[in-house]
Structure 1
Amino acid sequence: MAKSILSDDLIHEAPCAFLVTDLRGTVSYANKTLSDWLGWELGDLVSVSKLHSLFDPASRLYFETQIFPKILLDGQVKAISCSLQAKDSNSVIPVLLNAKLRKLADQNAGEIHFALFDASERTSFERQLLEAKSEAEELAAIVRHSPDGILRCDSSGLPRRMNPAAVMMMGLESAEPPQKKVSDLIEMTGERKDWFDYALNRLSENAGHVRFETSDDRGRFFEISVAQIDQTENPYASNEYSIILTDISGRVKVQNRLNLLVEELNHRVRNIFANVSGLVRLSLRGDKLKTDREKLLGRLDSLSNSHNLVTANLWKPTELSELIVPVIAQASDNQQISFDGPDVKVGSNQFKALSMAFHELTTNARKYGALSVSGGQVEITWSLSGNDNRNLHIRWCERGGPPVVTPQRTGFGTIMLKQMLSAEFDGDISMNYARDGLEFDCTGRLRSD
């Protein structure tokens, strides 16, 4: 008797579901595990008219048309994937169904024993495997059809695997890994001839990844990216490296042509400035016009110099600190120019406006302000503010010069300075003629041209 009770407990509390039906599929027995899965009362499961009603719609059709007829024909099925549906919800439980037909003494009677195993974790794992396989196949297709040469090398530089583009770049006849160092298969010129060893030396300094440009003896230009492959899952494996070879010959040729065009354009602009300066000298001759002539030529020179700077940067934003160089050049040895501020890139139009402003301020300081006497000082500072760090404040402060007197009239240089900066920075421009020295402030927004 004890054995029978133990057996009933084992079946009812088993980690899998058990049930029994007659040959028409009517449920005659179910264990507690199945009732817990589906949310049925144990006694109610037995009153279910047909087993197929416990499946979700898709599995129900599969059971009626394929599984149940096969049980009746072959006497059993094993590990069939299908899904049960809970009684009071839309949730489904993936299971592996096993069944065996037992004939009774009366050959027209019998019963079918079912064992159902919860396959939720297995289904999730299989889904992850399929997703990983799909992702791996997608990445493999990308690598296979990439125009860049992609290969994997060991620590000695011997290729292990490579895509068709790498095979073509290295002039190989097949993708069979050659017993030759990769830097010997694509020989570069100059100090990076052995570019693989160069990359390995740089890897330790750049967190396992380096990128650089070089060229081979055939006039091809390459961007080479080398990264150490993460093998933390196999700590005993030898180091291997991923290499991407990008042929940038076309880009380099376009860049060279662009540089030539820029240089030609800059040459012509400089000629225009030179011609204008020549016209100024011819038109404003005589001692009476000397002062006006020098002012105008100085402004033209400042504009020309700022143009050269932004052209050298291909009209990309230029470091604001470049504006300090001509100021320092015009100060005497015993004068101090101090400056302080963060790294700031200024667009070409705003840079030229600031360059003209600094020219006017420097000229004024040399004639009347701090740079006109020994020991005079000019302090130039700038800062950024705002949520996006795009609000710029520049301050020019003179000390140690002659006492400052507010001018009776506003000169052309001051008018030009304020108008240019106001137009370019959409901000506030102020000039305070403090007795200790001129104070100039410019506040506005940085913007791209």
Structure 2
Amino acid sequence: MLDALFDGTAFMAHGYCLLWQPGLLTLHALSDLLIAGSYFAIPIAILIFLRRRPELEMRGLAAMFAAFILLCGITHVIGLVTLWQPIYVVQGLAKALTAGVSILTAAAVFLLIPRALAIPAPAALQSANAALTNEVEAHRRTLAELEAARDALAEQVDVTRRALDSSEERFRIVQEASPDGFMLFDAVRNSEEEIVDFRRTYANAAGAEVLGARPEEIIGRSMLEEMPGHAESGLFTAYRKVVETGDPWQDEFHYAHDGIDGWFRATAVKVADGFAVTFSDISERRKRDAQIRLLMREVNHRAKNLLAVAQAIVRLTATNSDPEAFAHDIGQRLQSLSRSQNLIVAGDWTSVPLADLIETQLAHLGGSSAGRISFSGPAVELNPAAAQAIGLALHELSTNAIKHGALSNCTGRIEIEWSVTGGAKPVFSMMWSESGGPPVVASGRRGFGRVTTERMVKQALDADIALDLPVEGLRWTVTASLESVGEIARPGLPIAS
């Protein structure tokens, strides 16, 4: 078979047609050789291109072009051989094969014309490329703007974060320095979204101190587990209403549960799904308020008594028919009452030192009595009623001493002594004793002084009163239970002047 293909005995070489002219043979041979080399190089270039561009869709057409060009190169090689060897059968078969591949390639080209026409023209590509370039540039500008906005936002976030940190720090400093308790709670809900408890998320030092703990020890604890008294006292219901309605709540209440017993003032407001509560212990204030109310009742009672005493002073002094003497006497007696009242107020309406009362009531005597009056005794604190009665009595006794008694001359003296004797039921005794004055002359007249020193003191102290008038000088003695008079402030400490 191969012998038949390459048997050229029946033919003559193509060189005979060229008369074996060297120049003409060289021209044909060199031309076929160069054409064949070029045809062989083109498929290689196509294959290299296809390998580097695997994404191309028309790879089949490119392969057909490569095969067609390769066969063309082969036909030129065979044509070169036929110059000397008449293998025209092989040459014909090669041309036939080349013709078949050429027809297929041409058909494929016609079939691909619509797709090729769909490929944009260079001008369109340039326009599209320019538009794409503009779009890319616009996107680049947009990206730059977005990056600038992102940087600005990041800076703003950083500023906000620093401000928030600073605000939180200020909040922490204020809350830690606050004398009031402050706590934050989050709601604990069941599957039906009902509030069944609260969990503490923050507490300042003052708030934790109420529970006898440090803040870090009570964070995260359940309200009802730690303080079940909140349910019994109604506080849990009040806090739940704050979260459910958003309405703030404020109240003063007495809390006597969970080892705590005191009065508190609390304010609660909703915060997210929970609440914040500020509270302060007002137990001392409530005690002071109660004391003030008690004191006001006492003041009212004492004011009525004081008015009654003043009315009695006016009524008894009014027996003096001389208007000028009446005005003088009533003024002096009201001043005495006022001096005693000042001491009572200074003692918070509870007690008056007897020594202070004596000094105050005898102060109106002035320098003329210097060195002529002495008093001594233990440190007795008189109750307000005793201070008022004894104060008026001291005023009347000193006034009488100036007019008729020991202080009416230059040699008389007054001694005031008091003592407390007895054990379980101590007895208070006080004596006013005058000496060195003019002889005492008893008078049958019972004026305001006698009423004050005898009857008023007796009624106020439930005391025994003795008013003696020996010739050498007046002697006034009061004897009563210490309980009705007051108390000993500092037992054993003498007071003397």
Assess same fold via TM > 0.5. Answer: no
Greater relative contact order (Cα < 8 A, sep 6+): 2
Q: TM-score, normalization: structure 1? A: 0.40
Q: TM-score, normalization: structure 2? A: 0.36
